[in-house]
Amino acid sequence: MHAAQLVANDAVYYYLARSGRNTDWPMWWVFESTDGPAPASAEIIAHFTGRAEVFAPLRRRIHDAPGGFAHPFWGVDDSPVADHLVAHPAGLTWTACQDAMAGILTEQLDARVCSWRLHIFPDVSGVETLTGAGTVVMMHTSHALMAGPAMTSLSEALFAASPEPVRIDGQPVAAQRVRVWPAALAGAALTPWRLARFAYAVGREDRNIARDGGEGWLTQRPRTKTTLNRRIGPGRAMRTVPLGISAVRAPGITVTAVGLTAISLALQRYYEKHGEPCPEDLAAYVTIAAPEATVMGVNRVGADVIDLHPGESGLAGRARAVDATLRARRGSATSPRELLRLDLVDGLPSRAYRARFGTLPPANPDAPDPAHTILTSIRCEPSAELSLPGSRFRFAGMLPPIYPDIGLAHSFVGAGEAFAVSVACDPVIVPDLETYCELLIGAFRELAAALA
């Protein structure tokens, strides 16, 4: 494999994007100016162009192989950093700012042209928990370029007083000159052998499972369909609410489990509000960090489905049940068999992988769905204070891509004593996002009281 080539697990995000699904990864930071006005766009742009060297690992674009016979390559993008900075009008309200950010989520990046943009929203008013003027900075990247584990390093690169270039574990080099034709010719010649090798290895492992017993390949059982399980459209709506880490801390229960329990209660009430029974098998598709899984490239994040236990009547009991399920499933993304599966599919021909992920099948209302919502949770722990000119960091947010047939997604981002929950949806499927957010915040408050 060439040093500049994407591994299969990273390339899949490029293939999914080419199929029409939006797989980009957005994250944002909120700052407050307490002793004066918020910095102007020109000041913020100068802040970033003055540290252009920290963007070096991001300055790349994808080069595809002819005929799709090899996974794509990263080539150097020598465009100026300023070309990737987008300044939005000053003076937006927090609601209008979030609406503009939701609009950005509909603008799929073509990583062959531009793999990242940095959006600047100066002088934002009405941000919850802020008394001074707010500034919001939003990074919009291709998911093939980076994922959640890089958020801490990226935060320091963008906002620390003494920045270092962003560190992205597992990132290939970016070639000055990309030679795609030799890789494509070799890929075409080796396709039959790679398919045969894959089939033999899968058969061998199936025989091992049958002989030794134990857990087989990671599978997901179908869940009861609800109004949230519909093919999503192009529109997006989003909201971020800062809570503070104290709102989600509970003895013996992880922060993620506390948040999942709040989601469980909010979804239950949302279904009831719309006259729909809450499914007994209510579940969330939850990402799980896999930092040692080098075969996953930069996207060292697996996922599994976590039961949300709506049948548990007491909130404390529900939280303990969710926590137990989460702890039991946390190792699934890095189990020896799952890592073996990833290693096997990494050896598949690129054309086989593209056939699976490069097209979006038509919506099928009878197709099984694995979950009712999605959650990504990140702990961002910078080792230095984050700031912009005249402003101090207050909280951060991010969002996962919305699953094609799940119309509601969540994220948690913790940074120091800050904690924020973000929600994104297709506004056709969830036309009353504000109502859902009120239910969710109310659920967090009730849960904090029950677990105190």
317 domain-assigned: yes
Mean pLDDT of 375-387: 91
Q: DSSP of 212-281, one letter per residue?
A: H-S--S-----B---TT-S---S--EEEEEE--GGGG-BTTB-HHHHHHHHHHHHHHHHHHHTT-PPPTT
With a cut of 90, say whether residue 343 has pLDDT above it: no
Summary mean pLDDT of the chain: 91
Co-location of 175 and 253 in the same domain: no
Q: How confident is the model at residue 359 (pLDDT cuts 50, 70, 90)?
A: confident
Give the position of tokens 């093939």: 144
Q: What does the pLDDT read at residue 76?
A: 97
Under DSSP, is residue 73 helix (H, G, I), strand (E, B) or coil? strand
Q: What does the pLDDT read at residue 345?
A: 82
With a cut of 90, say whether residue 400 has pLDDT above it: no
The predicted-structure confidence for 43-92, as pLDDT tens digits, reads as follows 999 999 999 999 999 999 999 999 999 999 999 999 999 999 999 999 99
With a cut of 90, say whether residue 158 has pLDDT above it: yes
Co-location of 150 and 269 in the same domain: no
Q: How confident is the model at residue 215 (pLDDT cuts 50, 70, 90)?
A: low
Co-location of 36 and 103 in the same domain: yes
Bridging pattern class, strands 283-289 and 373-379: parallel
Co-location of 339 and 429 in the same domain: yes
- Total residue count of the chain as it appears in this document: 452
Co-location of 148 and 251 in the same domain: no
3-state secondary structure 363-423: CCCCCCECCCEEEEEEECCCCCCEEECCEEEEEEEECCCCCCCCCEEEEEEEECCEEEEEE
Q: Which one, of 131, 145, 133, 57, lies nearest residue 97 by Cα?
A: 133
Co-location of 275 and 170 in the same domain: no
With a cut of 90, say whether residue 387 has pLDDT above it: yes
201 domain-assigned: no
- Domain end point (choices 181, 199, 219): 181
Co-location of 59 and 164 in the same domain: yes
Q: What does the pLDDT read at residue 43?
A: 97
Q: How confident is the model at residue 446 (pLDDT cuts 50, 70, 90)?
A: very high
- Domain end point (choices 181, 203, 227): 181
The predicted-structure confidence for 226-260, as pLDDT tens digits, reads as follows 999 999 999 999 999 999 888 888 889 999 999 99
223 domain-assigned: no
Chain centroid offset of residue 127 CA: 23
Co-location of 71 and 157 in the same domain: yes
pLDDT > 90 in the chain, percent:
69
Q: What is the pTM of this model?
A: 0.93
With a cut of 80, say whether residue 212 has pLDDT above it: no
186 domain-assigned: no
Spell out the residues 6+ positions from residue 30 whose beta carbon is closer than 8 angstroms to its own.
127, 130, 134, 135, 136, 242, 393, 394, 395, 396, 397
Co-location of 163 and 262 in the same domain: no
Q: What does the pLDDT read at residue 217?
A: 58
Give the position of tokens 């969830």: 430
Q: 68 or 361: whose pLDDT is higher? A: 68
Question: In whole angstroms, what is the distance from residue 440 CA to residue 452 CA?
Answer: 18
Alpha helix segments (H runs only) across 106-170: 151-159
Mean pLDDT of 167-177: 94
Q: What does the pLDDT read at residue 24?
A: 93
The predicted-structure confidence for 181-208, as pLDDT tens digits, reads as follows 999 999 999 999 988 988 888 888 888 7
- Domain end point (choices 138, 154, 181): 181
Q: 214 or 233: whose pLDDT is higher? A: 233
With a cut of 90, say whether residue 18 has pLDDT above it: no
Spell out the residues 6+ positions from residue 8 whose beta carbon is closer than 8 angstroms to its own.
71, 345, 346, 348, 350, 353
Mean pLDDT of 400-409: 86
With a cut of 90, say whether residue 2 has pLDDT above it: no
- Per the structure, the count of domains in the chain is 2
With a cut of 70, say whether residue 214 has pLDDT above it: no
Mean pLDDT of 304-308: 94
Mean pLDDT of 429-436: 97
Q: How confident is the model at residue 152 (pLDDT cuts 50, 70, 90)?
A: very high
CA–CA distance from 410 to each of 181, 273, 327, 376 (Å)? Answer: 41, 20, 19, 7
With a cut of 70, say whether residue 1 has pLDDT above it: no
Q: Which domain holds residue 14?
A: 8-181
232 domain-assigned: no
198 domain-assigned: no
133 domain-assigned: yes
Co-location of 49 and 174 in the same domain: yes
The predicted-structure confidence for 286-295, as pLDDT tens digits, reads as follows 998 888 888 8
246 domain-assigned: yes
Q: What does the pLDDT read at residue 218?
A: 61
Q: What does the pLDDT read at residue 121?
A: 98
Task: Tell me phi and psi for residue 123, to 5 degrees.
Answer: 50, 60
Q: How confident is the model at residue 363 (pLDDT cuts 50, 70, 90)?
A: confident
Q: 366 or 97: whose pLDDT is higher? A: 97
Question: In whole angstroms, what is the distance from residue 124 CA to residue 121 CA?
Answer: 7
- Look up residue 34 and give its DSSP letter: S
Co-location of 13 and 143 in the same domain: yes
CATH number at residue 112: 3.30.559.10
